[in-house]
Amino acid sequence: MSHDVQTVRSFEHPGAGRKRAKSTSKGRQVDPQAAEEMALLLGDRPRRRDLLIEHLHLIQDQYRQVSAAHLAALADEMKLSFAEVFETATFYAHFDVVKEGEPDIAPLTIRVCDSLTCAMLGAEKLLHELETSAGPGIRVVRAPCVGRCDTAPAAEVGHNFIDHADAAKVLAAAKAGDTHAHLPKYVDYVAYLGGGGYQLLKRLRSGELAKEDLLKALDDASLRGLGGAGFPTGRKWRAVLGEPGPRLMAINGDEGEPGTFKDRYYLETDPHRFIEGMLIGAHVVEASEVYIYIRDEYPASREILTREIAKLPPGGPNLHMRRGAGAYICGEESSLLESIEGKRGLPRHKPPYPFQVGLFGLPTLINNVETLWWVRDIVEQGAEWWKGHGRHDRQGLRSFSVSGRVKNPGMKLAPAGITVRELIDEYCGGMADGHTFRAYLPGGASGGILPASMDDIPLDFGTLEKYGCFIGSAAVMILSDRDSVKGAALNLMRFFEDESCGQCTPCRVGTQKAALLMQKPVWNRELLDELSQAMRDASICGLGQAASNPLTTVIKYFPDEFKEAVE
Residue of 114, 189, 175 lying closest to 149 (CA atoms): 114
**Is residue 164 scored above 90 in pLDDT?**
yes
E-assigned strand segments in 391-515: 397-404, 410-415, 437-441, 450-451, 475-480
**Is residue 85 scored above 60 in pLDDT?**
yes
* Per-residue pLDDT reduced to its tens digit, 294-307: 999 999 999 999 99
Residue 409's pLDDT is: 98
Residue 560's pLDDT is: 87
* Per-residue pLDDT reduced to its tens digit, 466-488: 999 999 999 999 999 999 999 99
**Is residue 3 scored above 80 in pLDDT?**
no
DSSP single-letter state for residue 142: E
Per-residue pLDDT band for 14 (boundaries 50, 70, 90) equals very low
* Per-residue pLDDT reduced to its tens digit, 56-72: 999 999 999 999 999 99
Backbone angles phi, psi at 326, to 5 degrees: 85, 60
Query: Which stretch of 2-16, 175-189, 241-255 has the lowest confidence by average pLDDT?
Result: 2-16
Look at the chain and count its residues: 567
Per-residue pLDDT band for 13 (boundaries 50, 70, 90) equals very low
* Per-residue pLDDT reduced to its tens digit, 385-423: 999 999 999 999 999 999 999 999 999 999 999 999 999
> Mean pLDDT, to the nearest integer, of 213-235?
95
Please provide the average confidence, as pLDDT, over all residues in the chain. 93
> Mean pLDDT, to the nearest integer, of 224-232?
91
Angle at 323 between CA 320 and CA 327, to 5 degrees: 140
DSSP single-letter state for residue 288: E
**Is residue 382 scored above 60 in pLDDT?**
yes
Residue 8's pLDDT is: 33
Q: Which residues, listed in sequence order, are joined to residue 476 by a DSSP beta bridge? A: 402
Burial environment of residue 106 by CB neighbours within 10 A (0 to 12, 13 to 18, 19 or more): middle
Work out the number of other CB atoms within 10 angstroms of the CB of residue 494: 20
Cα separation of 498 and 258, whole Å?
A: 13
pTM over 0.95? The answer is no
User: In this prediction, what percent of the chain has a pLDDT beyond 70?
Assistant: 94
Residue of 353, 346, 321, 322 lying closest to 332 (CA atoms): 346
Asked if 256 and 328 touch (Cβ cutoff 8 Å), the reply is: yes
Residue 424's pLDDT is: 98
E-assigned strand segments in 304-436: 318-323, 364-368, 397-404, 410-415
Residue 29's pLDDT is: 85
* Per-residue pLDDT reduced to its tens digit, 549-559: 999 999 999 99
Per-residue pLDDT band for 228 (boundaries 50, 70, 90) equals confident
Residue 28's pLDDT is: 72
> Mean pLDDT, to the nearest integer, of 199-203?
98
Residue 17's pLDDT is: 46
